[in-house]
Amino acid sequence: MKWAFRGALAIIIIALAVWIWVTLFPGPEQAIRKRLAELAQLGSFAGNEGQLAKGLNAQKLATFFTPDVEISVDVPGVPRQKISGQDELLKAGMAVRTYLSSLKVDLLDINITFGPGKETAIVNLTLKVQINGEKEFTPQEMKFALKKVKGEWLIREAETVRTLSRLLNEKREISHRVGSA
Amino acid sequence: METVTEAPVQSPSLVRRMVIGRNPKRTMQRVVILVVVCFVIAKFVLLPIQISGPSMLPTYGEHGVNFVNRLAYLFHEPRRGDVVAIRLAGPSIMFMKRIIGLPGETVAFHEGHVYIDGNLLDEPYVKFPSSWEHEPRTLGPCEYYVVGDNRSMPQIDHSEGKASRDRIVGKVLL
């Protein structure tokens, strides 16, 4: 019984030490996951968000992206949309916060692939969006290209992924660039 | 002469016996085994899912609960008519669709009917009228054509199309 207790205690101590180490010195993967969790939190807003908070949060959200960010949204039923640069992104963010009463963003199934030197990364994830407090949600597969700038992971490209393709030879632009990242 | 009376043996109460049994240690072992077995089954064999959205009506209603059998395609490839779960980036959210086209086949929609390699496909599970139209599309060697049973929806609002084999997580059980 004694050895079992000692063994359990040792496992708990090791797990605690690993957790403390990872929290204090996160690896690139943990850093990206933390960054994306913050992004989802900032992207979400409740109905009672004030005008000042709207502006501040939209500005803060824009800092998660590089100044030359390219965002491409291609979903069925909507013309292809492209956002280029932080300023355009900020305007789009403000428009969303103005027209929608609330938004809940979740980033699920985050898969990270690092480029050489771990200075760039490609993230494949599922975006879950709930608008105006509705129970129904819209899932969308996304691909992000991230770049480490002054120790911070910033999104330099984002695009929607067609999980079920309708075209004959659909291109996946970001995944094509994984090799050169 | 001294008499010695045996102290009455304290038997566990009925409630305690029903909850943790006569042997708590053994009960604990059983609970641990049961939890591990349930976890392994739910994670690797039968994924519990909740259905959201109208695209599989009337075969599967909204908010219903079902399971995805991850081992269904261990010994054979997916077949036409199978209702499968298709992952997006992972298994947290999946599309639930029916396979209508197999690798190498050409799939087309005309006046709401499906044509495989030019032949009309019999679909008894489609109950609502449809007017979908789509030019023929040929599937690659590892591609399946999947679509929901509810074709009364506008085609643009309905997620359907080619899914690669590696995206098919398993077959819907019930």
Going along chain B from its start, the domains and CATH numbers come out as 43-172 (2.10.109.10)
What average pLDDT does the structure give for chain B?
Answer: 89
CA B86/CA B94 separation, integer angstroms: 5
Is 70 exceeded by the pLDDT of residue B8?
no
How confident is the model at residue A177, as a pLDDT? 37
Q: Which residue do the tokens 């990206």 mark?
A: A32
* Min Cα–Cα distance to chain A from B34, Å: 21
Q: What is the DSSP letter of A177?
A: T
Is 90 exceeded by the pLDDT of residue A172?
no
Is 80 exceeded by the pLDDT of residue A174?
no
Please state the rounded mean pLDDT for residues B132-150.
93
Within 8 A of B142 by CB-CB distance, chain A residues are: none
Least reliable range by pLDDT among A13-22, A133-142, B67-76, B81-90? A133-142
Element (H, E) at A91: helix A86-99
Q: Which CATH architecture does the domain made up of A28-180 adopt?
A: Roll (3.10)
Closest CA to B52 of B42, B63, B68: B63
Please state the rounded mean pLDDT for residues B133-144.
93
Q: Where are the domains of chain A?
A: 28-180
Please state the rounded mean pLDDT for residues A13-42.
90
Of the partner residues A108, A110, A165, the one whose CB lies closest to the CB of residue B162: A165
CA A19/CA A37 separation, integer angstroms: 18
How confident is the model at residue A166, as a pLDDT? 67
Confidence of residue B7 (pLDDT cuts 50, 70, 90): low
φ/ψ of A107, rounded to 5, equals -110, 115
**Residues A70-94: tens digit of each pLDDT:** 999 988 777 888 999 999 999 998 8
Least reliable range by pLDDT among A137-151, B16-30, B78-92? B16-30
- Is B112's Cβ below 8 Å from some Cβ in A? no
CB-based contact A160:A137 (threshold 8 Å) = no
Question: Which residue of chain A has the CA closest to B158?
Answer: A76
How confident is the model at residue A27, as a pLDDT? 87
**How many residue pairs from chains A and B have C-beta atoms closer than 8 A?**
61
Within 8 A of B99 by CB-CB distance, chain A residues are: none
CB-based contact A108:B87 (threshold 8 Å) = no
**Residues B143-153: tens digit of each pLDDT:** 999 999 999 98
Q: Do A111 and B93 make contact, defined as CB atoms within 8 angstroms?
A: no
Q: Which residues of B are catalytic?
A: 55, 97
| ipTM greater than 0.90 | no
**Token pair for residue A100?**
């929608």
Confidence of residue B98 (pLDDT cuts 50, 70, 90): very high
Q: Which residue do the tokens 């709401």 mark?
A: B112
How confident is the model at residue A52, as a pLDDT? 87
Between A23 and B103, the higher pLDDT residue: B103
Is 50 exceeded by the pLDDT of residue A57?
yes
